[in-house]
Chains A and B, each alone.
Chain A
Amino acid sequence: MDWASDSIQKVEKTRAERMKQAPPVLSDADKDELLREFHPDFVGMKRPVRVGPNADDQEFPNELADLLEADSPLPEDFQPRADIETDVLIIGGGGAGVSAALALEGSGLTVHLATKLRLGDSNTVMAEGGIQAALGPEDSPRRHFADALAGGHGKNDPALLRALCEAGPSAIDWLTGLGCMFDQNPEGSFRLRSGGGTSTPRVLACRDYTGLEIMRVLRDALVQGSANLLEHHSAVELLDNGQGLTSGAVFWNSKTRRWVTVSARAVLLATGGSGRLHFQGFPTSNHFGATGDGLILAYRQGCPLVHAHTFQYHPSGTSYPEALVGQLVTESIRSIGAQLLNKDGEQFVEELTFRDVVASAIIREVVEGRGVKTPTARRGVWLDTPMIELKSGEGTIRRQFPGLIHRFERYGIDPAKQPILVYPTLHYQNGGVSIDSDGSAGNVGLWAAGEVTGGLHGTNRLMGNSLLDITVFGRRAAESIKNNLPKREALTLAALARFREELKSLDHKSSETSPILFPKESGMKLEIDAGEGAGTKTETSSAQQETTSYEPPDPFSRPA
């Protein structure tokens, strides 16, 4: 990082002094102003959608609004006929879907779990910092609730949030019983850390690979169970019985390039987030498949979205080297003492306040000309990782954050010795499909769990609450499905037909189809093989014609 040596020298020079310094603390009014002036949710490009259950009632980022108003890739004359009949269809192979499938073991129900990529390819596997549960001596589920509600700006659905916080300890017990190994203190108890916005230590972790640990254990348990796996099956449409009851789904098998229709008595939507839509041109820490498919599917069934105009921009996405741009640097790095600094080596924000505030403060530094510019014209601020070694002893970073070291060492950067450059990265879909505390999406036959849902986290999620969300609500939805299993219903595309009628009223139609299934930057497309079966025309989605090598430019890194 020779190109930044002047600035790094300033960081090194001020380090000893800063060790003794308290961070600048913002008043609540200052935080509100910072969010209003710099957070992408407030200043980004957005517009209302004109069709569907949220028509004209709120604004969505343009990228999402375009997809909500887009047509389905299914041919007009598609006739759904069941290729597979099952009791429970789970759509999504991440933490929420797999937790649900495990909770259905032993129920006697036939379960099919469909996933667009491979089992476990998800945002879950990429989560680093940890999972919250009220297990500390000064803690309680009520305190957990209060922290998350304050972090979510009071917008959280209180019933959902209470269910989450009360289930924290038992969720950890469940994961431990499956074999998850969370980090321990020397005497053997769980090590609990603070996270941004926790008022007492509450975050359990497995180094900086917590999501990987949880996902690989869940996946291992699942493949030893009885659920039927449908890998490389992308859901493109939900089916209903003609009277608003969900009865199955149509998939596109990306290996055979054919449609596959599944009839199910219950459908659980666990399709995750949408960071790969690159709202406002931001890079993302999300996995390859995070294209918001579930939002689109539920929306066409008439399910309203809640808080789906708010997204979490994680304060510390990698800004250099180019190959790692957007990748997460866990919040735990700040929990154990690394400061955020501008190009002059000055601290500008309290590192452990809420994520949206920290991200906005970083954007402000950059917009006002106090950021660092990389050789590829990206911008960022320093995360002073060597401070951790000074505070907690040499070797701490390597021991506790092997993932961070492994990624940066490839590119000749040693975070134990050099600060790393970070900038907010699109990380989490705060809102989504509205559910009740049993995971029901309000449409008989349809349940939803995990990142695809909204309400639980309000408009800003705390670190460690999403891994808890998927384990708690995946299993709650499964319990509810067991107890309220509808009977098998007819397969129709009535909801889609209604939606298509609505689309006809629009003056300007979107040229895209949705869900897009693959991120635009990949250039990959939904293609149907000519041959027998339904929808025999060769179809190419118009959604992904343009390919770009780099992420789109970030409008917030405009010069001062």
Chain B
Amino acid sequence: MSNNAMTGAEILIKALTDQGVDTIFGYPGGAVLPIYDALFKQNSIRHILVRQEGGAVHAAEGYARSTGKPGVVLVTSGPGATNAVTGLTDALMDSIPIVCLTGQVATHMIGNDAFQECDTTGITRPCTKHNYLVRDAADLARVVHEGFYVATNGRPGPVVIDIPKDIQINTADYTPPEKVRHRTYRPRVKGDLEKIREAVEMIANAERPVFYTGGGIINAGPKASALLTQFVRMTGYPITNTLMGLGGYPASDRQYLGMLGMHGSYEANWAMHDCDVMICIGARFDDRVTGRLDAFSPKSKKIHIDIDPSSINKNVRVDLPIIGDAAHILEDMIRIWKAGARQVDPARIEPWWRQIDIWRARNSFAYEQTDKLIKPQRAIEALYDKIKDRDPYITTEVGQHQMWAAQLFKFESPNRWMTSGGLGTMGYGLPAAMGAQIAHPDKLVVDIAGEASIMMNIQEMSTLAQYKLPVKIFILNNQWMGMVRQWQELMHGKRYSESYVESLPDFVKLAESFGAVGLKAETPDEMDSLIDEMIAVDRPVIADVRVDPAENVYPMVPSGAAHNEMILGNEAGAESPQATDQGLALV
């Protein structure tokens, strides 16, 4: 060992700094005290103290999703690590790059059921992209550099690095990032050119094409969104985005059909069903998109572009898979398209657009206009109208409010929309907004919430207060777990078992107790002024917007139905396919 030997904790801080980390979300405890001591002695990394470790991981997700950089979490052993599990699973499902550092009892204590010991690598193995237990301080720097490489390359995901307390104290030499090259992990970035040519050929000759793009576009960086927009406009074809893909293509564009899936637009789902060529980029044919698999888009040839080979043919068999990074492949596609001087004959796809316009005319997101009650959709639209010019960052919790936000809030750029898509984690929105606000201190960050979800991580109000984060929490308060109530209404004979949220707090007083501003609206007029007031305040706000408790999210593809069999609301000329018996077993 040379004279430059550092303690494990110092090595860790240096490695994080060399990885460009400026912010860590964490919570101290016995097994990470040496790391917190090292943090105390430096100034390059800012530590954000959350109020529960689950909040730290979601905050790191919000930070990552809104910046494109990996989010970093630091928690202690045992309960610190187990509290992080939900967030890790959430990040795995939504492909968010996270590096989560967990303390562990000293190596000689491992396996002895020591105080605050748990098998962190065992528990987190299925909910991380990869995890490590560091057994030697000399390995620590290499493992951290590898961890960042794994979290951010290929399909991004969470990585856990479990660091026993003695490793944090022991001394070793530092290994700089340049000296670390991963032994095995080299995800493919460039697509197979032959296949890309074939895809361009299929796309050029399509008569009823549709682009179906997802979170992979966001993960491939803003360049991928720009290339996607360029390519889609060159073709003149329609495009739909998944929940995770919103903002990947400008939502106000005429070629945009809105979100697809269980609560997607009528035109998006029908276009997916009736298309002859489907161009899927960075999406994964999940059950919320496909509906009943054997009825999914029966007439189409499917092109699937994804960086993860295991996404290919997982649920839906595709005709032309291309493995690689979305931005690289789109770049090649555009180049090949231009080289062939291809032009889409407008007459060829005109009948397809005419059909799409007929579907569009159903206006499937329509809702009853009334000035008595606040319609939740109206609340989202009013919010959108008042803040759209401020380039806002929007997070959500999970449930009806999330779907209305996804349907009605129009995202023009990537990295502005943060939601828990795959795992559907209630309680995600507030900490995620916190992370986004830390990353973008001068931007408007709004958590569109429900009154049930917000209670799941309400303790993070205290974090907002400590760091003076002016996050706006816009609660669509219907006093129900709205999506649970909706399913019980439609599928369980209106037996509303345990879905009414009793004994809610007074959100105005709750906000005030945390040093935030509390606002409340019960009529549409009050709501408009509430939004103005909320934006004007440079402090955290909880806005309690009392909305129509009976409103449902439409369209809805009931479970077990095909993706073109949608229940529509009254305003869109109600259609009501029923959930099937098999569908009842689905979530």
A binds B: no
| A interface with B by C-beta (< 8 Å) | none
| B interface with A by C-beta (< 8 Å) | none
